[in-house]
Amino acid sequence: MTAVDGIDFDIDRGEIVGIVGESGSGKTMTALSILRLIPEPGKITSGRILFGEKDVAQMTDEEIREFRGNDVAMIFQDPMTSLNPVLRVGFQVEEAMAAHKRFSTQQSRDRVIPLLQRVRIPAAKDRVRDFPHQFSGGMRQRAMIAMGVSNQPSLLIADEPTTALDVTVQASIIELVRDLSRELRAAVMLITHNMALVASLCNRVIVMYAGRIVEEGPTRSIFKNPQHPYTWSLLRSMPRLDETEKERLISIKGLPPDLGRMPPGCKFHPRCKFRIDRCMTEEPPLGEVDPGQMARCWVLMKNVQDPEAVAQK
C-alpha cells in the first residue's frame, strides 16, 4: 500500500504553502516523511527530500536528530498530547532549545520569556511556571509555536494548528504564524482541510487526493479558477460571505479510495460528476493548465459547460 505517491513540490524561504485535502489524502504523511518520522511499518521506498543540498532520506541518525528542531520544526494539531502534563511550560520550551544545543543553557533559559511574549501569551513572566492544564487551548497552541520557533528553523510545518480552537482564537493564531514567517524569513508548510484558513494565510496551495497532488498553484488562481473537479468541489462545498448570489452548496458523494485497492485510471473518477471514459482507464499526468498552475485531470473545469448544473444532477 502506498500512502504518498510521486509527490513533488518545493517551498521557498518566507513562503507559506497550504496542503489541503480530505482526511487520508496523505497530507500528514507527507510532513512526517520530511522529518523521517513515518510510523512503523511505513518507510520511504524511493525519491529524494532535499533541504538545500542535503538529502534528508540519506541522512544518518545523528544528522537527522540535528536536522529536526534546528532546521525544521513541526507543530502538531493537538498541543495537549504534545506537551508533557507534569512539566512546566517554560521548562519544556527551554528543553526544546537545550536538546539541540544551538544555545547555551543560560541563553536557553533567558530566551524562554521573550519567546512566550513573542507568541503573545499574556503575562508571560507569570505564566512561564504554569503547567499545560493551566493554559487554555489557544495558549497551549501558542506555547507549541514558541517551542517550534525557539531554534529559529528555516522550515516550520504546522499540522492542523487551529483544529480545536474557536474562530476568534484561530484568527489570532493565523496572524501569529504569518508574522513569525515574516520575522524569521521561515518557510511555512500548513497542513489543513480548512480552505478559509488557506485563503487568508497562504501564498500557494497544493491539493492532495489519494496520496497524489491533483492541483497546485498560487492561492488566488486556485480559488478564482480551480481546474480539477476535486478542487472545484471542495471550494463549492463551503459557504462564502462574498457571494452576491447564493448558490447551492455542492457535496462530494462517496469516500476516498482504499489505498490498498486503488481504482484504475484517475483516482477521483468514482466520485467525479465530470468524468469521461478515459478517466476510468488512464491516470492523467500533472500538467500545466495556466501559468504557474498545475492540475492532474483529463477534464478541466474551464472546458465544462455549466458545471453547477452537472454537479447538481
- Max CA distance (Å), the chain: 66
On the question of pLDDT at 69 being above 90, the answer is: no
Same-domain status, 35 and 98: yes
- Final residue belonging to a domain, choices 162, 183, 202: 202
Same-domain status, 175 and 223: no
Q: Is residue 259 part of a domain?
A: yes
At 241, the pLDDT band (50, 70, 90 cuts) reads low
Backbone angles phi, psi at 2, to 5 degrees: -110, 115
Quick: pLDDT tens for 102-161.
888 899 999 999 999 988 899 999 999 999 999 988 888 889 888 888 888 999 999 888
pTM of structure: 0.89
Q: Distance between CA atoms of 162 and 79, rounded to whole angstroms?
A: 10
CB proximity list for 277: less than 8 A, separation 6 or greater: none
Q: How many folded domains does the chain comprise? A: 2
Same-domain status, 59 and 162: yes
Tell me if 19 sits within 8 A of 189, measured CB to CB.
Answer: yes
Q: Which domain holds residue 46?
A: 16-202
At 9, the pLDDT band (50, 70, 90 cuts) reads very high
Strand partners, 68: 72
- Final residue belonging to a domain, choices 202, 226, 253: 202
Write down the pLDDT at residue 48: 92
